[in-house]
Amino acid sequence: MKVAVFGAGNQDLYVRHLNLPEKFGGEPPFGGSRMAMEFAEAGHDVILAEPNKNILEDEHWKIVEDTGVKVTDNDVEAASNAEIAILFTPFGKKTFEIAKNIISHLPDGGIISNTCTVSPVVLYYVLERELRRERQDIGIASLHPAAVPGTPYHGHYVIGGRATSGLELASEEQIQKCVELAESCGKTAYVVPADVSSTVADMGSLVTAITLSGVLDYYYVGTQIIKAPIEMVEKQILMTLQTVASLVESSGVDGMLKAINPELLVKSATSMHLLKEQEILDAALNMLSNLDDDVMKWIEKGEIKHTDLVAAQALTKELKNLMGGTAAEGTIRRCMRKMFE
Amino acid sequence: MKVAVFGAGNQDLYVRHLNLPEKFGGEPPFGGSRMAMEFAEAGHDVILAEPNKNILEDEHWKIVEDTGVKVTDNDVEAASNAEIAILFTPFGKKTFEIAKNIISHLPDGGIISNTCTVSPVVLYYVLERELRRERQDIGIASLHPAAVPGTPYHGHYVIGGRATSGLELASEEQIQKCVELAESCGKTAYVVPADVSSTVADMGSLVTAITLSGVLDYYYVGTQIIKAPIEMVEKQILMTLQTVASLVESSGVDGMLKAINPELLVKSATSMHLLKEQEILDAALNMLSNLDDDVMKWIEKGEIKHTDLVAAQALTKELKNLMGGTAAEGTIRRCMRKMFE
């Protein structure tokens, strides 16, 4: 397979800053350059585009090239033969620019794959004009390492499938091609809805994991111990998570914490300790009971801004009924971008 | 102060089912009857309305009455002198019926206080016609025990203040009166925005507490260790929580789990273990890695339904711009009720 990787990876962050070799194991180069190496070692024809030579040390460039990876500083050159073009590029606008720059150069049926720096949904909207007109053949499918490539934790890729909204960003064959590429270098391929991939694979997966453990703990206590109806338990989960999300959206984390009041929350949630073993709740209560003075002052200074606490899916449905599907689509899309961008 | 409590509390749930005397300590009667006793012991003039004599044993009724609480099976009688009418009544429609039944009988400036069985926002909307026309003097202010009254964990009341949406359900004096009642029986009074009170005080506070600990852990790791911009970190928090909330809304907990895939999530979130001590993340990963077969089968059978993942506050703003404030208000209100009801 002909593969292009854009962006070698910020070794300064991985090695000096995060000290990954000691914390997680593995050796530099980490990131995009390591992905390129692994693809080459699996027998693919790989080119790595990186305009900044200084991002890797010379000895690391040598390691990369020794695996057979071709290195270039020219994005268009890298794109011109790429069946799969993988963007291991910076957060935000830079990635949009590169994507817009390369799309017309990709071969027929090419795939643009995002990693952790952009949501596939946003990438789709950024490229929508091209994707709907000149390049209907191109697909967007995440090839998200969901870990730092080069560390032992990177044993998998997250590949974006059909979105929960029904949006199809890539054809079934294009998604399958990404699965094959991942598996060819011994990684597990997980296909998840494209619009859910960031939640399960980005930095914020830390929040997702802890939140899910809370949802499961409460679901068990609520339905099995308190024996409340499932519908009521699910409503409580929706209410709490939607409220926290919307308060963060309107007022930031400090404003949200001010509205919710951790001291009070500890007292309320203690009464939900109804099993002998609720390890996660114990840990959470322990943390929330021992916030240091700086954090308490930061919360105190938080500002609770205007918030309309609504169930988001109920609102998108109302909007479609009010405006009709097509007119509502534009509005929904803008609010989708606000969330993922 | 003249106080009426509606509903003595389901002792069968507290004692037989949840075994609270052993788990938490304290003695029956628990719940509304205990609140009434504590108010009476603090010197207030208290009446307890309970149509079902069998909900308490005879000896417990005696304990209640020995503190000076007057007991009646007539809601209207209880309401007729109540400066504060506290609804320790069943979930759902039953509480709406009682509230609608008593409102016209309350004295001038009376307060209706919800506990855990209804959101003050929903109660407001249910009573809105009366509150806007005949009884503009009545206020709605939670007096939510946020614990089971009668257990040692009940040292506080959650009182609903001005909502984050700006809605004022009660006057400042009415809110202050609730604070005074709480403090008169030695409880800490927490005034929180009325539309946030359920999230911090209901059963779901278990989810809120664990979620908040995850938000704080990630906020620290994201801004201090990875040194990502605050804005990016807050966006990730919004995205993850909004996604989980909306998937639960559209597809239930099982559908949400199917979309997110706990096995994959464990792999992703492990790479966010960047500090020596991340006790909550450890506990969450441990739980999510050891889901038993029944849970895995339940998730497997989950169905991912159509979901439009949008930032909810961005959407309410768009709606107001599109329709104008007044027209949007009705829609927002319906979606608020869908969340809290």
Do residues A82 and A145 share a domain?
Answer: yes
Percent of chain B whose predicted confidence (pLDDT) is above 70: 100
A167 at B interface, C-beta within 8 A: no
Model pTM greater than 0.80?
yes
Nearest CA-CA partner of B115 in B90, B93, B135:
B90
Size of interface A-B (CB pairs under 8 A): 471
- Determine the pLDDT at residue B326: 87
Q: What is the pLDDT of residue B13?
A: 92
Residues in CB range of A166: below 8 A, 6 or more apart: B306
Which tens digits make up the pLDDT trace of B212-222?
999 999 999 99
Of B24, B202, B262, the CB nearest to A236: B202
Instruction: For residue B240, give the chain A residue with the closest CA.
Output: A199
Q: Which of residues 264-323 of A touch B (CB under 8 A)?
A: 264-272, 274, 279-288, 291, 295, 304-316, 318-319, 322-323
Positions of chain A with pLDDT lower than 70, given as ranges: none
Residue B239 has pLDDT above 90, yes or no: yes
The answer on A263 and A176 residing in a single domain is no
CATH assignment at residue B248: 1.20.120.1300
One-letter amino acid for residue B246 of the chain: S
Beta strand pairing status for B45-49 and A156-161?
A: unpaired
* Same-domain pairing of B190 and B238: no
Same domain (yes/no): B249, B322 = no
What is residue A39's predicted lDDT score, i.e. its pLDDT?
98
Number of domains in chain B: 3
Q: Find the mean pLDDT for residues B274-287.
A: 94
Query: Which residues of chain A lie closer than 8 angstroms to B201, CB-CB?
Result: 264, 268
CA–CA separation, A173 and A161 (whole Å) = 11
pLDDT at B341: 84
The answer to whether residues B45 and B138 belong to one domain is yes
What gap in Å lies between CA A325 and CA B17, rounded to an integer? 48
- Pair B135, B245 in one domain: no
Residue A11 Cα, gap to closest chain B Cα (Å): 13
Q: Nearest CA of chain B to the CA of A73: how many Å?
A: 26
Q: Give the type of residue at A76.
A: V
For residue A291, give Cα distances in angstroms to A245, A286, B203. 21, 9, 23
pLDDT above 90: residue B276: no
**Range(s) of the domain holding residue A341:** 314-341
Q: Which of A217, A275, A153, A204 is nearest to B291 (CA)?
A: A217
On the CB side of B281, CA atoms within 13 Å amount to 26
The encoded tokens of residue A168 equal: 């199809």
Closest by CA to A169, choosing from A204, A133, A127, A202, is A127
Chain A partners of B236 at a C-beta cutoff of 8 Å? 202-204, 207
* B151 interaction partners in chain A (CB closer than 8 Å): 271
Instruction: Say whether both A23 and A66 belong to one domain.
Output: yes
Determine, for residues B265 and A200 on separate chains, whether the beta-carbon distance falls below 8 Å. Answer: yes
Band the pLDDT of B327: cuts 50, 70, 90. Answer: confident
pLDDT at residue B300 above 90?
yes
Angle made by CA atoms B102, B106, B107, in degrees to the nearest 5: 175
Is residue B257 predicted with pLDDT exceeding 90?
yes
Residue of A nearest to B215 (CA): A207
Asked whether residue B182 falls in the same domain as residue B318, the answer is no
Q: Tell me: do A189 and A243 sit in the same domain.
A: no
**Domain boundary residue among B156, B171, B201?**
B201
pLDDT level of residue B211 (50, 70, 90 thresholds):
very high
Interface test with B, best of A154, A197, A243, A341 (most B CBs within 10 A): A243
Residues of B in contact with A332 (CB under 8 A): 308, 310, 315
* Chain B (29-68) residues lying within 8 Å, Cβ to Cβ, of chain A: none
Can you tell me the distance from the alpha carbon of B37 to that of A236, in angstroms, rounded to the nearest whole number? Answer: 30
Domain co-membership, A22 together with A92: yes
- Give the residues across from B144 on adjacent strands: B158
Q: Which residue of B has its CA nearest to A25?
A: B271
Is B197 in the same domain as B210?
A: no
- Does residue A13 contact residue A29 with C-beta atoms inside 8 Å? no
Mean pLDDT within B92-116: 96
Residue A220 contacts B, CB cutoff 8 Å: no
CATH number at residue B92: 3.40.50.720
Cα-based distances in Å from B301 to B210, B253, B257, B284, B294: 26, 11, 10, 23, 11
Question: Of the residues B177, B201, B225, which one is the last residue of a structural domain?
Answer: B201
Quick one: pLDDT at residue B73? Answer: 97
In whole angstroms, what separates CA A75 from the centre of its chain? 24
Q: Is the ipTM of this complex over 0.90?
A: yes
Residues B323, B295 within the same domain: no
Reading the block at residue B249, the tokens are 């809304």
